[in-house]
Chain A
Amino acid sequence: MKELSFRFIAIVIAGAIGLYGNPAAAQTPAAKPIPRTADGKPDLSGIWQALGVSLTGEAAARPAGANPASAGPARGRGRGPREAPPYKADLLARVKALVADPVHSPSAQCMLLGVPAITMNPMPLQIVQTPKNTVILYEVMRAYRIIPTDGRDHPADLDPTYMGDSVGHWEGDTFVVDVTGFNDKTWLDGAGHFHSEGLHVVERYTLTPQDTIHYEATATDPQVLTKPWKVVDTQLRHPPRADRIMEYECAQNNIDLPHIVTPVASR
């Protein structure tokens, strides 16, 4: 295998320590001054990824001596337990039905994944921050989001879309993105976690002194959830070897579908 850079090793160590979404607890890498743009805002630009072997390598996925069948997926950093979205009781049956139909999951169908699910996908994203727009390019499903930061509000007559309509502003050193105008075709995160067109997501991106992005997303959907649902995650900056995201045309050879036979919940 190729030589491992110090930075790569540091990221693997950070993953192995198992941080639970608390950037202040990061042990490595060492704190650095936060890079800022000319207008004084933290500069989120770069290639980032939350988890996945293409970020950390296999060492984080499979500690020496581990049973390969039981090792979990590689993580960029430890991810603590996450609560499922709090569905209304009469909607749990629908969640169960969707879990039992993995063929029609948004990702198996190569659909745009929605927010916040796309942020937690194990493929890199690239943030391009300019004074009036922050653009996020996602390798997965070749998705993109253009987030105006010129103070505008959402358009009044949004057509529902997979990725929603985003507008952003700064609260101190945190980039806050308000997302509405979703269709109901995506999942929040995890199997069967559907939502309505009434979904409203607020994301918060904070660049940390450890050169990570602390990410929080709060999803509100009174039609299906009893209360808001929050996810917290950490994006790691990609090692220099991956200096740009690449094409991922999911429909190129999507031959799994006829072979999907068993509902996840029945295992």
Chain B
Amino acid sequence: MKARFAVSFWVLSGLLASGMPALAHHSFAAEYDSSKPVTHAGVVTRIDWMNPHVYIYIDEKSPDGKIVNWGFEGYPPNTLRRVGLSKSMLKIGDSISVTGWVAKDGTSRFAGREISWPDGRKFFVGPPAK
């Protein structure tokens, strides 16, 4: 009975694990919490348009008036090119709002999902949570 449970548990885990997310470099769940969606808004301070993921950093003013620099990761550059988000669409100094999911280690990082610009444009910069 125990052996059968163990096998079914690992079959299920295998099924879950086999569905590797499009952030294929590493497991989403090992780094981010899909039960904790967040939105951060601020001014772009840095753009690392590199593999294995782009990283974009924004200065967000928190309710107490302090500036916190948040970094979010997205798809690799090649993937972004293919879905139509080019590096030229994002510049240092842009004001953007970004949805995503919290980092599990408590640092000021999150998995980015959708960027919104003040003019109403939106773009998916990273995958849905897994």
Contact = CB atoms under 8 A, between A and B. Distances in A.
Interface of A: 1-2, 51-55, 57-58, 61-62, 68-74, 81-85, 87, 89, 92, 95-96, 99, 102-103, 105, 107-108, 110, 120-123, 139-140, 189-193, 241-242, 246-250, 252-256, 259-265, 267
Nearest to A89: B3
Query: SS class of chain A's interface: helix, strand, loop or mixed?
Result: loop
A250 B48 CA distance: 14
B61 interface: no
A193 B21 CA distance: 16
Contacts of B27: 102, 105, 108, 191, 260, 264
B14 interface: yes
A189 B18 contact: yes
B103 interface: yes
Contacts of B123: 1
Given A73-B22, A252-B52, A254-B52, A85 B14 contact: yes
A82 B11 CA distance: 9
A250 B22 contact: no
Given A108-B26, A256-B73, A81 B19 contact: no
A99 B13 contact: yes
Interface string B21-57: 1101111011100110100000000001011110100
B48 to A, nearest CB: 6
Contacts of A252: 50-52
28 contacts: A51-B22, A68-B37, A72-B128, A73-B21, A73-B22, A83-B15, A84-B14, A84-B15, A84-B17, A92-B10, A99-B13, A107-B26, A108-B26, A121-B20, A123-B24, A190-B18, A193-B14, A246-B81, A250-B52, A252-B50, A253-B55, A254-B52, A256-B25, A256-B73, A260-B27, A262-B104, A264-B27, A264-B30
A250 B26 CA distance: 11
Interface of B: 3, 6-7, 10-11, 13-22, 24-27, 29-31, 34-35, 37, 48, 50-53, 55, 73, 75-76, 78-79, 81-84, 99, 101, 103-105, 107, 109, 113-114, 123-124, 127-130
B31 A256 contact: yes
Contacts of A61: 22, 127-128
Nearest to A107: B25
B18 A54 contact: no
B130 A72 contact: yes
Contact of B78 (A191, A248, A262): A248
A259 B17 contact: no
Contact of A53 (B18, B22, B34): B22
A83 B99 contact: no
A73 B52 contact: no
**Residue from A61, A120, A250, A256 whose CB has the most chain B CB atoms within 10 Å:** A256
A68 B99 contact: yes
